[in-house]
Homo-oligomer: A and B are copies of this chain.
Amino acid sequence: MIYCLGPRGSYSEIAAKVFSKILGENNIVCCNSIYDVFQYLEGSKGNTYGVVPSENSIEGSVSLTQDLLLEFYPKIRIYGELDININHCLVGYNREKIKRVYSHPQALAQCRKYIKKYGWEVVPVSSTAKAVKLVRSMGSEEVGAIASKEAARLYNLKILEEGIQDYKNNTTRFILIGKKGLKLNLKGEGMKKSTVILKLIEDRPGALYEILKVFNDFKVNLTRIESRPSKEELGNYIFYIDYITPKNEGDLLKELERHVAYIKHLGCYRVFSKS
């Protein structure tokens, strides 16, 4: 079974469908929130997976997913990642009559310039697919939604314009998560990446520099470094780091441990592509 962030027609469901082919798991269940995906997984048995958004090329990381990866550690791990192109569409009845547009706050932010051009009022809702459903149920020419082509088709609404995001290179990264200890049955060899969360020993000028020196000494290529609040006080951070997994990862982790307050290894996983 694969739990994903719903409702049906969401970009998460599109990603879950790709993973479903790779894993040979046909049962996709759409959940109400990212939190629910984590919680259902925690109580699951056997080969059960989750698919949630982790990062977008325009808006940056999805904070809730990052926070929950820490909260549910060590029970939940990362098993894969997949990038999906985001192609926002204006969905509704008549572009010239629209006064209000509904969508998820990230989608509204990604189409900020387009919306500004028409001077529409924006109404944030919990997902892009829900926005389409809402506009469908209102049945008024004065409202529109911003969502995927798939969501428009699902709820039988017209696509008024495609590719309306401000930046054309708009990609969202989804991660495949599951309980610790799952065995994926995958053919061939692909690039492997790892994710760690670490906290520096204390706030001193060179603390982060020391950590990066270790990665540099091991000639390991970082693909993401992100600071998140430690939630203890403002100016106190933890770091999320993704890197191409080296053969001697055990040694790298041992050396890193000597320089940090804690380090949590969220997984070493395959990077998948859509086709």
Chain A interface (Cβ within 8 Å of chain B)? 35, 55-60, 63-64, 83, 105, 109, 112, 116, 122, 124-126, 167, 169, 171, 173, 203-206, 208-209, 212-213, 215-216, 219-229, 231-237
Contacts and interface: CB of A to CB of B under 8 A. Distances in A.
A225 B209 CA distance: 11
Given A109-B63, A227-B225, A209 B205 contact: no
A227 B226 contact: yes
B215 A212 contact: no
Contacts of A35: 112, 116
A208 B221 contact: no
A52 to B, nearest CB: 15
B233 A57 contact: yes
Contacts of A167: 231
B231 A169 contact: yes
B126 A56 contact: no
12 contacts: A35-B112, A35-B116, A55-B229, A57-B229, A60-B228, A173-B234, A205-B216, A205-B220, A205-B222, A206-B216, A209-B213, A223-B235
